[in-house]
A and B are shown apart, each in its own frame.
Chain A
Amino acid sequence: MGPEGLVLLMFAGLLIGLFMGHPLAFVLGGTAVIGAILGPGEHTLGLLINNMYGRAMDNYVLVAIPLFILMARFLNDSGVTEKMFETMRLLFGRVRGGLALTVVVVSVLLAATTGVVGASIAIMGMIALQPMLKYGYNKGLSTGVIMASGCLGILIPPSIMLILIASYSPVSVGSLFAGALVPGLMLGTLYALYVLVVCFIKPDWGPGVSSDERESISGGQLLMMGLKYVLPPMSLILGVLGALFTGIATATEASAIGVVMAFVLFLVFGDRKLKTCYGSLLEAGKTTTMVMFVLVGATAFTGVFTIGGGMDVVKEVVLSVPGGTFGALLFMFGVVFILGMFLDWTGIVLLSFPIMLPIVESLGVDVLWFVVMVAVVLQTSFLTPPFGYALFYLKGVAPSGVAMLDLYKASIPFCLLILFACVLLAVFPQLITGLPTYLYGNP
């Protein structure tokens, strides 16, 4: 089978398996095995094991995933986050959508500690979704805001993805961090504005506190609740950030510090029972294996796609596209978007940058602007149905009442917001290039 046939077979296999309702990790892995045998040949099967081992199992940076998940589990099982959201709701008072705004803010803070998408979404899915649903928040708004804000982790520095991107482009890590900061914060702001607007139009999507309930609690009581339930989890996040920015620990190590702090909160606020603690470990294990095994399948899939010549097919199509600079750019973002739905981001950066960056340079386009745009576009591909990793990660931790279709619907407004952001960044490229130029001068 030629490369074109293989590309078709693999994408078709993936979609069929997906809609059959088979677990995604096995669909990815099974398609990879069949693709390897029919495409590049049976002798390449060993490569799949090499990819699984080398990219997923033997990868220190990914250790942050189970650690952040365990941190969230302890926080959740201590009961403090539930009370935190209750307090936040009261603090926001009659302002509608307060909890959704809290999710955005906490996610942006989390984004500054981790660059791992699976981790941030699992964290917020575990601690925020239940309280939001409990207080009558709209399912679509709640899940959508968690998924979209959770993806910000790879855009807001520090981010492992940006470091990898920098190593594949003439842009330095420093200027890439600076270039991605404004778009990242801008997206966060857009999500917050959307929450405010949509809750203004549809009050029952993010109900505020009734005046009776608000009056039943004095300002002093509320202050006490804030000190007791909001301050500790917030200091935990700031503690993780602090360990990172003061040079006590690397990003991965900081996640372990987060676990210890969350465990302390569990001892303070939780029931301190060994059984609950063991239960937290079991649940954290389930979430970790869900996130990680999808990655294992994805590495196998990406490996076969590459050795089978899939990238050559993509390259030929990119090079043959008409329409000048605008057409070429639009097409390249389109390719990144589509690949982002199927491959993990490591694969996309490794495979597409060596092909695309020379084209971008020859077009006379600012490379820094282009790579940050790619990072923003990747945000949408994680969120887009039918095959966005954010959707699967949230599905894995969501309560059973949340169906995949709910998540598909929930992601649409946020994808449109990102698209809107892309247009803004294209019309006003200074949003990307401004800060790096200010900090580092003209490259």
Chain B
Amino acid sequence: MLSIIRAIDAINDWFGRFIAPVIAIITLIVIYDIALRYFIGRPSDWAFDITKMLFGAYFMLLTAYGMRHCVHAEVDIVKQLLSKRVRTVTDLVGYIVFFTPFVWLLLTHGWEFATRSWSRGETTYGMVSIPIYPLKTVIVVTGALILLQGVSIVLRLILELKESEHGA
């Protein structure tokens, strides 16, 4: 079980480290667009759309990496009052009741959303046609990545639960 956890964590770590530099690319594109408009007087045809699309993909694809490093905001007040075991059970229940339906939504309806876009080769409607379907697919990919990370977290909780049983 521990090896599965480690493998998942490694995958999401690697992927997060791969995606994080995208923000530097976004910065450069915006600066390039300002420079063209200001110095040459002719803005880029694609910068606006590409910036927006990279941004959408950037933060979505980092979600699982964020889970891996526990950055997603949560309230720890009640948790602090509970015993370790109850806390672990509460965490498990949280993943079943809230996380699971949400991931299911991203995977199923996100999939339909993306395939509709693929089926017609949907593009932006600016001066240049830039394909939109890759960005729409990002929702499903995000769903898959956070499902993986969710599995890792839940397995870890189960391990903790087993350990506390043995301990008692």
- Is there direct touching of A and B in the complex, by C-beta distance under 8 Å? yes
Q: Are B77 and A404 in contact (CB under 8 A)?
A: yes
Do residues B105 and A48 form an inter-chain contact, with CB atoms below 8 A? yes
Q: Do A66 and B79 have beta carbons less than 8 Å apart?
A: no
For chain B, the bracket of interface size reads 35 or more
Contact yes or no, B30 A281, CB < 8 A: no
With A49-B109, A53-B136, A56-B56 as contacts: A21 and B74 at CB distance below 8 Å? yes
Known: A21-B79, A48-B109, A58-B56. Contact between A288 and B23, CB under 8 A?
yes
Q: How far is the CB of B132 from chain A (nearest CB, A)?
A: 9
Q: Are A53 and B71 in contact (CB under 8 A)?
A: no
B154 CB within 8 Å of chain A: no
**Residue in contact with A49 in the complex, picked from B60, B65, B67, B105, CB distance below 8 Å:** B105
Residue of B nearest to A27 (CB): B98
The one of B55, B58, B60, B98 in contact with A22, judged by C-beta atoms closer than 8 angstroms, is B98
Q: Are A17 and B97 in contact (CB under 8 A)?
A: yes
Residues on the B chain within 8 Å of A60, using CB: 48, 51-52, 55
Which residues of chain B come closer than 8 Å to A393, judged between CB atoms?
73
CB pair B98 A17 closer than 8 Å: yes
| A21-B73 CB under 8 A given contacts A248-B38, A260-B27 | no
Give every chain B residue within 8 A of A34 (Cβ-Cβ).
Answer: 101
| Residues on B with beta carbons closer than 8 Å to the beta carbon of A31 | 98
Query: Residue B17 at the A interface, CB < 8 A?
Result: yes
Selected interface stretch from A249-257, A352-360, A415-423: A249-257
B75 contacts A18, C-beta separation under 8 Å:
yes
CB pair B73–A70 under 8 Å, yes or no, is no
A292 on interface, CB distance cutoff 8 Å: yes
Given contact pairs A67-B26, A260-B27, A25 touches B72 in the complex (Cβ within 8 A):
yes
B78 close to A289 (CB less than 8 A): no
Give the nearest-CB partner of B62 in chain A: A289
A190 touches B (CB below 8 Å): no
Q: How far is the CB of A254 from chain B (nearest CB, A)?
A: 9
Among candidates B23, B97, B112, residue contacting A30 with C-beta atoms closer than 8 Å: B97
For the complex, give the distance between the alpha carbons of A278 and B16 in Å: 12
A290 touches B105 (CB 8 A): no
Pick the contact of B27 from A27, A53, A259, A285 — CB < 8 Å?
A259
Cα A296 to Cα B91 in complex, Å, equals: 21
Residues of A within 8 A of B63 (CB): 289, 293
B12-28 near A? 1/0 per residue, CB < 8 Å: 00001101110110110
Contact B75 A70 (CB under 8 A): no
The reply to whether B91 and A285 form a contact with Cβ atoms under 8 Å apart is no
Q: Does A367 contact B (CB under 8 A)?
A: no
Quick one: which of B87-117 are within 8 Å of A by CB?
Answer: 87, 90-91, 93-95, 97-102, 104-106, 109-110, 112-113
- Given A56-B56, A70-B27, A293-B59 in contact, is the A404-B34 Cβ separation under 8 Å? no
How many residues of A are in contact with the other chain, CB < 8 A? 67
Query: DSSP class of B's interface residues: helix, strand, loop or mixed?
Result: helix
A19 cross-chain contacts in B, Cβ below 8 A: 75, 77-78
Instruction: Identify whether the interface residues of A are mostly helix, strand, loop, or mixed.
Output: helix
A44 to chain B, nearest CB (A): 10
Q: Which of B19, B57, B60, B66 has the most CB atoms of chain A within a 10 A radius of its CB?
A: B66
Partner of A57, one of B56, B62, B99: B56
Is residue A408 contacting chain B, with contact meaning CB distance below 8 A? yes
> Which residue of the partner chain B has the closest CB to A42?
B109
Using A62-B55, A286-B66 as known contacts, say yes or no to A22 and B23 having CB atoms under 8 A apart: no
Whether A33 contacts B38 in the complex (CB less than 8 A), given A66-B26, A285-B23, A286-B66, comes out as no
A63 within 8 Å of B (CB atoms):
yes
Question: In the assembly, what is the distance between CA of A24 and CA of B72, in Å?
Answer: 7
B162 contact set on A, CB distance < 8 A: none
A170 on the B face (CB < 8 A): no
Residues from chain A with a CB closer than 8 A to the CB of B69 are 286
Across the interface, which residues of A come within 8 angstroms of B87, CB to CB? 21
Residues of B contacting A317 with CB < 8 Å? Answer: none
Q: Is there an interface contact between B104 and A67, defined as CB atoms closer than 8 Å? A: no
B80 interfacial by beta-carbon distance below 8 Å: yes
Taking Cβ atoms with an 8 Å cutoff, the residues of A that contact B are: 17-27, 29-34, 45-46, 48-50, 52-53, 56-60, 62-63, 66-67, 70, 248-249, 252-253, 256-257, 259-260, 278, 281-282, 284-290, 292-294, 296-297, 300, 386, 392-393, 395-396, 403-405, 408
Given contacts A26-B94, A404-B74, A404-B77, 19 further A-B contacts (CB under 8 A): A17-B97, A19-B77, A21-B74, A21-B79, A22-B98, A24-B72, A24-B73, A24-B74, A29-B102, A33-B101, A52-B139, A60-B52, A63-B52, A66-B26, A253-B33, A256-B30, A286-B65, A288-B58, A395-B73
